[in-house]
Structure 1
Amino acid sequence: MILNFSRNYIIKDTLIISFFFLFLILGGCINPDKSFNYKNGDLLFSVGSGNSDFTSAIKESTSMKDEIPYSHVGIVSIEGDDIFIIEATTRGGVRKSTLKEFFAEAAEIDGKKLIAVGRLIPELQYSIPDAIENASAHLGKKYDYYYDEANDLFYCSELVRFSFKDSSGNYIIEPLKMSFKNKETGKPDPFWESHFKKLNVDIPEGMPGTNPADMAKLPVIDIVHTFFK
């Protein structure tokens, strides 16, 4: 009986240890967003998980073949032990999301999230505290479906651009000439033609603006981590 009693405990302990390691393994899969040491003001570039026409049009208009078609970007805001993302989305305008929510909405490849972490180059990181404050001041504002820098609405990369300023008050991220043409065909994307027609405005082709795919390649931003490699 003593032998059987000890054997039962050995089996029980083995099962507990096995479940413990299984929990750790699964925990790592469930929380991939915790596997990187974020810094305040980091920029998270992502590829949207939805197959909506809107997301597809953004990808097709802002990325060349073989490039990662980033369609969204948000700003990391660390508050105590919590990590939030200040972002402008079609679902809620300018909002503050949890890191878990941000990751849940990103696409995957081979089970890994299509998310990259961008960070301002060291000589510009002094601007981050003010940038977080600037971005937070726009919380609750509506999404900019017009892609117009002159209004008080914001799309994702526009929010980032208008949040970061240097010591002279100039925007760190310069605008580019926007294009709503399909990068593969060079022709106006049918989605954008329909989109702006419904808004009763001309397509702002060539007007100043930004997009996540080009922003991720700017010399003032270093990509310090990718979750898909």
Structure 2
Amino acid sequence: MRWSVLVAVWLGAHGAVAAPRLEEGLRTGDIVLHTSRSRQSQFIQAATESPFSHVGMVEVTPKGAWVVEAVQPVQRVSFAKWKARGVKGRILVLRPKALSDAQKQQAVDTAKTHLGKPYDWHFGWGDEAMYCSELVRKAYAQGAGVEYGKMERLGSLKVAGLKKPMRERYGAKVPMDLELVTPASLATDARLEVVHSDFPSVR
């Protein structure tokens, strides 16, 4: 028996066969989160007390997996590229529990109608510009009738120590009553099943 065959048999017998790549287990409509390397990431993490500062939606095609995300501008990138941009390559993958494949595809299709729009640096709720978690919540609300995550007032987040970056973004009058949805609130939504996580604790 050839040495390569013997090795394969030994590995199989000892449960050491490599697991399929993460990308192969993705499904259209999966919600993916990571810790962004952007300048504002540290502020989002501090305000939400969560490592999750960026989120996107997966679309699986015959040419591989892609992520629709709201950056500057809203775009569709390969999953491999999206994952590599996260700190240490760590990723959280969530999957809606009670939606059909058709509903999830419709949500992704809805997200893609916003491709090319600018990033919303002020976290507003209009459709002329988008931030990452807004795109995900709106795509599922409009495409599948489900609102994931929750709307929170800016002032209800842990922003006491972020006065300088908030003044830089909003000026002297910071809109503490502004309602927004955060990546952290999506990460803790019980209607989303954790199918993969590289983070030590999620929920």
TM-score when scaled to structure 1? 0.70
Structure 1 residue 62: deviation in Å? 1.4
| Superposition misfits of 4+ residues, deviation over 4 angstroms | 123-126
Give the match's secondary structure for 1:142.
coil
Structure 1 residue 162: deviation in Å? 0.7
Distance in 1 (CA, whole Å) between partners of 2:128 and 2:142 is: 21
Partner AA of 1:74 in structure 2: G
TM-score when scaled to structure 2? 0.78
1:55 to 41, 61, 64: 41
Partner AA of 1:105 in structure 2: R
Give the match's secondary structure for 2:55.
strand
Q: Is the 8 A contact 2:154 2:179 kept in 1?
A: no
Q: Is the 8 A contact 1:33 1:103 kept in 2?
A: no
Q: Which runs of 5+ in 1 are unaligned?
A: 1-12, 18-27
The 5 Å alignment of 1:33-182 reads: 33-34=22-23, 37-50=25-38, 52=39, 54-63=40-49, 68-89=50-71, 92-108=72-88, 113-123=89-99, 126-165=102-141, 170-173=145-148, 175-179=150-154
Partner AA of 1:97 in structure 2: V
Q: 1:180 to 1:83 in 2, by over 3 A?
A: farther
Question: What root-mean-square deviation, in Å, do the aligned CA atoms of Structure 1 and Structure 2 show?
Answer: 2.9
1:226 to 179, 182, 197: 197
Distance in 1 (CA, whole Å) between partners of 2:180 and 2:157 is: 17
Partner AA of 1:76 in structure 2: V
Structure 1 residue 182: deviation in Å? 6.7
Q: Percent identity?
A: 22
Aligned to 1:208: 179
Q: Matched residue pairs, number?
A: 185
Distance in 2 (CA, whole Å) between partners of 1:174 and 1:204 is: 21
Q: 1:145 to 1:190 in 2, by over 3 A?
A: same
CA deviation map 1:169-196 (0-9, x unaligned): 744226412326773x745532112111
Q: Which runs of 5+ in 2 are unaligned?
A: 8-17
| Higher alpha-carbon Rg | 1
Structure 1 residue 164: deviation in Å? 0.6
Give the match's secondary structure for 1:119.
strand
Distance in 2 (CA, whole Å) between partners of 1:87 and 1:152 is: 15
Give the match's secondary structure for 1:164.
helix
Give the match's secondary structure for 2:139.
coil
Give the match's secondary structure for 2:44.
helix
